[in-house]
Structure 1
Amino acid sequence: MLTQHYFPELAERVRSQRVLQPELYGDVDFDRLPYRLTTDPDVRSALPAWVAPREPILADERTVELISTATMLGDVVADPYAALVPTYGVPGLIAMLRQACREGVDAVPDAPAELRALIAAMEATPAWVDRALVEEGARHLRIGGALFSPFITRGAFLGTFLNTYAALPMALTGALSGRRAAVRVNETASFFAETTLPHALDRFGVGFESAAMVRLMHSMVRYNALKRSDRWDLDVYGVPVPQVDQMPAGLINMYVLAMTLKRQGRTEFTARERAILETCRFRCFLLGLPEELLPTTAEGIRHVFHARGALLRDDFDDATCGALVKSTMDAYLRPTRSWFDRAADSVERSWSKTFFVKGFCGGETERATRMGVTLSRADVLRVAVTSPFIIGRFALATAAARRPALQGAVDAYVTRLLRKRLATWGNPEYTTDARHYEQA
């Protein structure tokens, strides 16, 4: 049962979903926690023992309440807009949202109230946001986005498929089978890259629009899972694509940084890392995440990540998770079949496998193989051969960007490269098609 001792406003936000969208959430009992969420110490959770101990988290009532509440939270402003699909159709919703992002909501003829509410919520920038710091953080993120992230995005994407309860919405959409798997991986890469471009997160920036489109896509997944798929069991899975499941993707790079700090014996972010955090937190706000899930310290970020895993029931179903991992690893992400693109695909695939093994399997290759990711000797060789170039170029650019005299030149270079990568990935569709949804 949901409590509201520590987060009463968040609990009220959860319960308001039934009032705001009775057609979608009328059958959801928000006082009944789904089977996916467990506080039983005898039940295995998604938090590996090698990552962090589970017992202290289960004993922390405040943390348990936060994760339990956020597990039942969808998107209180985007979901009502997505529910207009019977009236406007998916193309109509997309067209109105894009126009509202680019020209303002008043430019949309007969703009529905639900669209106005979504745009208004995204425009309501929180008082904690430092716009100058957001731009500085984006400048630092562009370096990794252009020089390093493209080689590990697929591996990071795989991390969202390691739990049946969290992965089922994507499995239901059919969005990760065949060619659609490549589209989704490239869309993910495009979103995170696009939102680091100069002024991308401004009101009329490309990142603002991308965030709005991602919110609509997630809300369409919720709508179709609840209304058009008989595989979705509310008692087992709760709310589809809850905010607690979106938090890891939004803050994954900060979690990696936070874990690096711990290994280095540091407790505080540097000025550069603090700027990156500001950008990530603001991007998460635009995506609809509540501030309660957006810590401001390294310890807080580690804690909320581990807490989500500690309360998520462990399960890796080959029919769901295994299929998603396989289709994602099999996807060909390059635009052509030229020798260069084939070679680039092989290198990226090897780096993604390596990132997956180290980041999600604790370096255990056998565990990764059981999940469908086999790190071969050829993969190890490719990473070893290309590391001096990939890591060396990234390190050199990062160091040069700290020098005022070189900062402008470095930023111009990585921005050009980032735009080229975006052109290679193609224009994101940010859509989900109900025709592809699997039925029981």
Structure 2
Amino acid sequence: MTTHYPTLAQRVRSQRELQPDLYGDMDFDKRPYRLATEPDAPSALPRWVAAREPLLADERITELISTATMLGDTVADPLAALTAVHSVTELIAMVRLACREGVGAVTDAPPELVAFIAAMEATPEWVDADLVRAGARQARIDAALLAPFVTRGAFIATFTNTYAALPMALTGALSGRRAARRVNETASFFAVTTLPGALDRYGPGFEAAAMVRLMHSMVRYNALRRTDRWDPGIYGMPVPQVDQMPAGMINLYLLAIRARRQGRTEFDEIERSVVEFGRYRCFLLGLPEELLPTTAAGIIEVFHARAALLRDGFDDATCGELVRSTMDAYLRPGRTRFDRIADAVEKSWSRAAFILAFCNGNRKSARAMGVTIGATDIARIAATAPFVLGRFLAVRAVDRRLPGLRWAIDRYTTRLAEHRLVTYGNAEYLTDARQYSTAG
């Protein structure tokens, strides 16, 4: 019974009506096994992060996570289903053209494409455009100076739970080349969306969000229709919105944690702009407003509740292979001496970031998940910390304390972010159904 989020629950149930061929066999009123609602069930929420019991006792937050666990994308999924009659290449070309020139530029545009673009254009009333632009400025500093050294570690964190990681494993993204492409595409998306004007209607960030959204829907469609490994009774919805929320809001969660540790219950002006930017970017990715809190307490609560209700599980054949292939993947565009050194340094920083952020510094726990750090990694981090962290902290301090120099900071971080995009390569945002695993 839905008490607190009836609109969201109706959105979930409407999926069967919108896509009966895809979701007609799914029971949206039945909780999948991945939802760990039993008090004694092992979950993805470590005790050192937060207590699980108060979250389970809160009917409102439990209902929210349970409902969102069964939510796909009500406008992108019907578009992805057109791969039954259109080639993937043709469909992607239509989406790119619609993003760049408008739906009217697409000859005989399918109604599914029209609805998809219209949903992305329907900017919610809560969006403050000025705050979004200000938040993008702040996010661009991170994207230009810090993200390149920790993105791989954050990406790995999405593979540490069998129930959440299986869709990626089904795509066949276990080899080094495909793993590298996934990491670079993720880094590219988060970088391009921070560029000036990127999230405007005809900006490159808007298009990137549309492509990521379509890719997720293609994974969802192919997981249900092109493989026999997906059991909705166990896993629920492939790539549900509740699993996309952590990637889209991890930086907001870290802001909220920092505010709480400083004894604050409110975000300051700069933090508020970053939150607004992050929430709008998540809206473009299809997340419902219910999963996008505005307060530090609300953001922390939704993160912890999602983990508290996600059943614990680490299958080495799924999670372990994804972690190892991602950590081993070579991400640089060339093989020069500089490229090889830069790749080694980035891997060391990513290992450290993963261990500190997701294992509370416990190397044994990280090792069990396939991430190890050695003396050589620590030496690399120590040698490069003055450049990596020192530069980042210096630029951020100048930006905050000397408003008169922000124009120079903007030029510097924009130029560096654009350079990062060249390094990441052209993002394709593809998923190939021919590579999907069909093993039971």
Asked if structure 1 preserves the Cα contact closer than 8 Å seen for 2:135 and 2:277, the reply is yes
Q: 2:91 corresponds to which residue?
A: 93
* 1:265 corresponding residue in structure 2: 263
Aligned-partner Cα distance in 2 for 1:107–1:53: 53
Residue pairs, 1:321-336, within 5 angstroms: 321-336=319-334
Match in the other structure for 1:49: 47
Is the 8 Å Cα contact of residues 176 and 330 (structure 2) preserved in structure 1? no
Moved over 3 A (4+): none
Q: Is the 8 A contact 1:159 1:356 kept in 2?
A: yes
The aligned counterpart of 2:12 is: 14
Matched, 1:153 2:147: no
Counterpart in 2 of 1:431?
430
SS across alignment from 2:15: helix
Which residue is 1:80 aligned to?
78
Partner residue, 1:226: 224
1:365 correspondence with 2:363: yes
* Structure 2 residue 106 is the aligned partner of structure 1 residue 129: no
Which whole-Å CA distance do the structure 1 matches of 2:191 and 2:53 have between them?
Answer: 37
- 1:176 & 1:170 partners in 2: Cα distance? 8
Would the aligned equivalents of 1:28 and 1:234 in 2 still touch at CA under 8 Å?
Answer: yes
CA shift, 1:270, in A, is 1.1
Does the residue aligned with 1:152 lie in a helix, a strand or coil?
helix
* Counterpart check, 1:203 vs 2:201: yes
Structure 1 range deviating more: 398-407 or 100-109: 398-407
Shift of 1:178: 2.3
1:400 shift after superposition: 1.4
Counterpart residue type for residue 388 of structure 1: P
Size of the aligned set, in residue pairs, is 438
Q: Give me the whole-angstrom Cα distance separating, in 2, the residues matched to 1:51 and 1:99.
A: 44
Counterparts of 1:404 and 1:50, CA distance in 2: 39
Aligned counterparts, 1:238-257, within 5 A: 238-257=236-255
Aligned partners of 2:416, 2:267: CA distance in 1, in Å? 28
Compute the displacement of 1:431 (Å). 0.7
Distance in 2 (CA, whole Å) between partners of 1:404 and 1:53 is 41
Q: 2:399 aligns with which of 398, 401, 405?
A: 401
The answer (yes or no) to whether the contact 1:175–1:432 under 8 Å persists in 2 is no
Render the CA deviation track for 1:110-137: whole Å, top value 9, x for unaligned: 0000000000000000000000110000
SS in 2 for 1:240: coil
Q: Distance in 2 between matches of 1:36 and 1:210?
A: 30
Provide the secondary structure at the position in 2 that maps to 1:83: helix
Following the alignment from structure 2 to structure 1, what is the Cα–Cα distance between the partners of residues 306 and 375?
A: 34
**Residue 309 of structure 1, CA deviation:** 0.5
- For residue 38 of structure 1, what is the aligned residue in structure 2? 36
CA-to-partner distance for each residue in 1:19-70, whole Å, 9 max, x for gaps?
A: 0011110110001110000110111111000000000000000000000000
In structure 1, the gaps of 5 or more residues are none
| Aligned counterpart in structure 2 of residue 284 of structure 1, from 278, 282, 285 | 282
Q: How far apart in 2 are the matches of 1:175 and 1:321?
A: 12
Q: TM-score, normalised by structure 2?
A: 0.99
1:176, 1:184 within 8 Å by CA — same for their partners in 2?
A: no
User: What is the DSSP-based 3-state SS (H/G/I as helix, E as strand, rest coil) of the residue aligned with 1:167?
Assistant: helix
Measured in 1, the distance between the counterparts of 2:255 and 2:156 equals 19
Q: Cα RMSD over matched residues?
A: 0.7
Task: State the TM-score, normalizing by the size of structure 1.
Answer: 0.99
Tell whether the 8 Å contact from 2:356 to 2:362 is kept in structure 1 after alignment: yes
User: What is the match of residue 314 of structure 1?
Assistant: 312
- Would you say the 8 A contact 1:138–1:279 is kept in 2? yes
Matched residue type, 1:342: R
Q: Identity across aligned pairs (percent)?
A: 68
5+ residue gaps, structure 2, are: none
How much does 1:389 deviate?
1.1
Does residue 411 (structure 1) correspond to residue 410 (structure 2)? The answer is: yes
